Amino acid sequence: MPRRLAVANQKGGVGKTTTAVNLGAALAELGYRVLVVDLDPQGNATTGLGINARALESSIYDVILHDVPLEDVVEPTTLRNLFVVPATIDLAGAEIELVPLFSRELRLRRALETVDGDYDYTLIDCPPSLGLLTVNGLAAASEVLVPIQCEYYALEGLGQLLRNVNLVQANLNADLDVSTIVLTMYDARTRLAEQVADEVRQHFGSRVCRNIVPRTVRLSEAPSFGQPIIVFDPSSRGAIAYRELAKEVSGGAP
């Protein structure tokens, strides 16, 4: 069964894009066909996967707003099984341009249905807000993956996210389920990181992945080279963490 995960948390800087790119890459390395959908106008997943946004003729914006077929905007990456639907800054206007459109919450879902079966994993990198773009991401997914930064205030705002997930579930997408919590930027030297991790586990139990992503500079350097960490520095701690996470999330190679 193909899986579609919305990587969501309305807080910025918690590791959504880093997780979408690097979990996607590690799943592709395991042998799954993976599509990363960049739903953030910042386009960080796009550039992080080595795509030059300025050279693109069309992007997710054209798919969602102007019914351009999704398969026409899919770009290959340096990894054989990894593909990306890129975003450009055009998408910044989409929150407002979507408002008057018919079935505005379901535009991405309809577009992804046209490539159903082509990918084992679709990872939707949501923007740091709970607006219409994120609603499109949640409506198009079967699961929500929530990255949580192991820092003070980590749990703040999570209630709001979960309420929105429930609203989408009740009104648009009965299948939706918060299946996966990923702890990110864990600094083993601090008591705080450990406390946050414990607290998140108390809340979410077995939905919290055993594998935790450590805070490491290499993970923050890789995007400026347009490479996932497993390509940029294959033996680094970040690469190992995302490889292990991919095995945990998928249950192993196909």
| Residues in touch with ligand ADP (CB under 6 A) | 12-18, 44, 128, 184-185, 213, 215-216, 219-220, 223
Element housing 206 (H / E): none
Instruction: Please identify, using beta-carbon distances, which residue of 63 and 182 lies nearer to ligand ADP.
Output: 182
Residue 227 CB neighbour total at 10 angstroms = 20
Cα dihedral sign, 238-242-247-253: negative
2 close to 90: Cβ distance less than 8 angstroms: no
Residue 14 binding: pick among Mg ion, ligand ADP, none (C-beta 5-8 Å cut-off by kind): ligand ADP
C-beta closer to ligand ADP: residue 12 or 76: 12
Count of positions on this chain that bind Mg ion (CB under 5 A): 4
CB of 147 to ligand ADP, least distance (A): 6
Q: Which is nearer to ligand ADP, 77 or 184 (CB)?
A: 184
**What span, in angstroms and rounded, lies between the C-alpha atoms of 196 and 147?**
13
* Residues within window 1-60 making contact with Mg ion, judged by CB under 5 A: 16-17, 40, 44
Question: What's the first-to-final CA gap in the chain, in angstroms?
Answer: 11
Task: Establish how many alpha carbons lie within 13 A of residue 36's alpha carbon, considering only the half-sphere containing its beta carbon.
Answer: 37
Residues 220, 214: Cα–Cα separation, whole Å: 11
Q: How far is the CB of 247 from ligand ADP (least distance, A)?
A: 18
Per partner kind, with CB cut-offs from 5 to 8 A, the member of ligand ADP, Mg ion, none near residue 69 is none
Where does this chain bind Mg ion (CB under 5 A)? 16-17, 40, 44
